[in-house]
A and B are shown apart, each in its own frame.
Chain A
Amino acid sequence: MQRVTIDDPAWLTTFPRPVAPLPDEWLAGLLLRCDEVNRWNSRTTFYLLKRTINLRGPWYIHRNLIVPHNIDLDVLARWLKLPTSSLLATTYHEELARCYETTSPVSRLLTPGFSTRICPQCCDEKRLLMRNLMLPHIECCPKHHVKLMRECQCGARLQLFSPDALPFACNMCGLDWRKLPRVAPDPKRIELEHKYLALYEFFLSQGTPEILKRAWQLAKERLSDSRKRNGRYPSVEPSSLLPGPLVGPEPISESISVLVAGLVFFGLTPKDILTYDAPPLHYTEVRIKEHGFFVLDVFPKSLISQRYRDAFDFD
Chain B
Amino acid sequence: MSNMGTSISGPLRPPFVLQRAFIETPFERRFLSIVRHAWQERSWHVISAVPGSGKSLGIGELVRTSGAYKDKTGAPYLPVLAVCSPKNNAQAPALGEELASAFGVVPSMPWKRLRIWLVQAMAAFQVECIIIDDAHDLNRFTLSFLKELTDKLAAFPYKRLVGLCLVTAHSGDVIPLKEIIKQPDEIWRQFYRRMDKLHPFCVVDGHTQDEIVEILPNFEDLYRSQLPDLRLRRWAPYIYEQLTNPILDLDSSRRVTMDNLTKFVTIALGHAYDRGERDVNGQILKETAELLIQHRDDPFHIDGDAALFHIDGDSTNEELPPEQAVG
A-side interface residues toward B, CB under 8 Å? 2-7, 11-20, 38-40, 44-45, 47-48, 79
**Is B69's beta carbon under 8 Å from chain A?**
yes
Q: Which B residues are in CB contact (< 8 Å) with A17?
A: 70, 76, 124
Are A14 and B121 neighbours in the complex by a CB distance under 8 Å? Answer: no
Q: Which B residues are in CB contact (< 8 Å) with A18?
A: 70, 72
Q: Which A residues are in CB contact (< 8 Å) with B109?
A: 40, 44
Are B69 and A48 neighbours in the complex by a CB distance under 8 Å? Answer: no
Q: Which of B63, B64, B73, B76 lies in contact with A16, CB distance below 8 A? A: B76
Are A4 and B121 neighbours in the complex by a CB distance under 8 Å? Answer: no
Question: How far apart sit A25 and B70, CA to CA, in the bound complex (Å)?
Answer: 22
Are A44 and B107 neighbours in the complex by a CB distance under 8 Å? Answer: yes
20 additional A-B pairs beyond A2-B72, A11-B104, A12-B101, beta carbons within 8 Å, are A3-B71, A4-B71, A5-B68, A6-B64, A6-B66, A6-B69, A11-B68, A12-B104, A13-B104, A14-B70, A15-B106, A16-B106, A16-B125, A17-B76, A17-B124, A18-B70, A39-B124, A45-B107, A47-B107, A79-B105
Question: How far apart sit A194 and B23, CA to CA, in the bound complex (Å)?
Answer: 67
Are B105 and A15 neighbours in the complex by a CB distance under 8 Å? Answer: yes
Q: Which of A16, A19, A48 lies in contact with B121, CB distance below 8 A? A: A16
Are B70 and A11 neighbours in the complex by a CB distance under 8 Å? Answer: yes
Are A6 and B63 neighbours in the complex by a CB distance under 8 Å? Answer: yes
Q: Which range contains the number of B residues in contact with the other chain?
A: 20 to 34
CB-nearest residue of chain B to A40: B107
- In the complex, the number of residue pairs spanning A and B with C-beta atoms less than 8 Å apart equals 64
Looking at the assembled complex, report how far the CB atom of A60 sits from the nearest CB atom of chain B, in whole angstroms. Answer: 22
Q: Which A residues are in CB contact (< 8 Å) with B49?
A: none
Question: How far apart sit A119 and B121, CA to CA, in the bound complex (Å)?
Answer: 29
B-side interface residues toward A, CB under 8 Å? 63-64, 66, 68-73, 76, 78, 101, 103-107, 109, 117, 120-121, 124-125
Are A3 and B104 neighbours in the complex by a CB distance under 8 Å? Answer: no
**Sampled A-B contacts (27; CB under 8 Å):** A2-B73, A3-B69, A3-B70, A3-B71, A4-B71, A5-B69, A6-B63, A6-B78, A7-B64, A11-B68, A11-B70, A11-B104, A12-B104, A12-B105, A13-B104, A14-B104, A14-B105, A16-B104, A20-B72, A20-B73, A39-B120, A39-B121, A39-B124, A40-B107, A40-B117, A44-B107, A48-B105
Are A13 and B71 neighbours in the complex by a CB distance under 8 Å? Answer: no
Question: How far apart sit A17 and B69, CA to CA, in the bound complex (Å)?
Answer: 10
Are A13 and B64 neighbours in the complex by a CB distance under 8 Å? Answer: no
CB-nearest residue of chain B to A17: B76
Question: How far apart sit A17 and B103, CA to CA, in the bound complex (Å)?
Answer: 9
Q: Which B residues are in CB contact (< 8 Å) with A38?
A: 121
Question: How far apart sit A301 and B30, CA to CA, in the bound complex (Å)?
Answer: 78
Q: Which B residues are in CB contact (< 8 Å) with A12?
A: 101, 104-105
The 10 A-B residue pairs with the shortest CB-CB distance in the complex, in nearest-first order: A16-B103, A6-B68, A4-B70, A48-B107, A20-B72, A2-B72, A5-B69, A14-B104, A7-B64, A39-B120
Looking at the assembled complex, report how far the CB atom of A13 sits from the nearest CB atom of chain B, in whole angstroms. Answer: 6
Q: Which B residues are in CB contact (< 8 Å) with A7?
A: 64
Looking at the assembled complex, report how far the CB atom of B10 sits from the nearest CB atom of chain A, in whole angstroms. Answer: 37
Question: How far apart sit A284 and B70, CA to CA, in the bound complex (Å)?
Answer: 53
Q: Which B residues are in CB contact (< 8 Å) with A6?
A: 63-64, 66, 68-69, 78
